[in-house]
Amino acid sequence: MTFKTGLSLNTKGPFFFNTGMPNRGTQLLYYTLLAIQLIFGLLTWVLIQQSEGTVMMSGRMADLYLPVLVIMMSGGVAYFIDQSRANQATRFSYAGEQATARYRITVLLRSAIVQSGNLLALSMALVTKRPELLALIIPGLLLFAYFRPTISQFNARYANN
């Protein structure tokens, strides 16, 4: 199956293009970033459980607002950048390797922004020694999964050009 962009599906496996589009390298980077977040979350939980210090924040529910705000803002910024680059892809004609590289950069930008919000929330949990802040990694990871790279998303943006 060949698209207008000159990319063709590889018959040896689903979701892989002959040019390396976007999934082989991009998916590897995406899952590496996901693994880093999970490992850092686990490490944070272990360190909080082993600490004997006192809780650094007041313990009020208001203390949760800052990490929630950070995660929500990182999601908003990532969505804005993603939509902006998607609009540019429909306005300009990108083909072949240029489309692949542009999509890969878009995926890296939005993933890095969401990951930074998640890691900042985990850092706040570690510094404040509040294990309940670790629960914020769940919506943060769901937000990260929302921005997962897909072939259908690539095709919607670049195959019609």
Decide: helix, strand or coil at residue 8: strand
Give the mean model confidence (pLDDT) for residues 92-109: 80
Contact 117, 71 (CB under 8 A): yes
The rounded distance, in Å, linking the Cα atoms of 51 and 61 is 22
The answer on pLDDT for 13 being more than 80 is no
Residue 120 pLDDT > 50, yes or no? yes
Contact assessment for residue 26 and residue 105, using Cβ atoms and an 8 Å cutoff: no
In the predicted structure, residue 17 carries a pLDDT above the cut 50: no
**Across-strand partners of 8?**
2
Helix boundaries (H) for the chain: 23-50, 65-91, 96-128, 137-146, 151-154
Mean pLDDT of 74-94: 83
87 vs 14, higher pLDDT: 87
Cβ(150)–Cβ(103) below 8 Å? no
- pTM for the structure as a whole: 0.71
Q: In whole angstroms, what is the distance from residue 119 CA to residue 4 CA?
A: 39
d(C-alpha 107, C-alpha 114), whole Å:
11
Q: What is the DSSP-derived secondary structure letter of residue 17?
A: B
- For 20-47, what is each residue's pLDDT tens digit? 445 577 788 888 888 999 999 888 888 8
**Per mean pLDDT, which of 36-40, 65-69, 94-98, 132-136 is the most reliable?**
36-40
Task: Kindly report, residue by residue over 41-75, the tens digit of the pLDDT.
Answer: 888 888 888 876 655 555 566 567 778 888 888 88
More confident residue, 133 or 54: 133
Q: How far is CA 125 from CA 35, 53, 83, 88, in A?
A: 19, 13, 31, 38
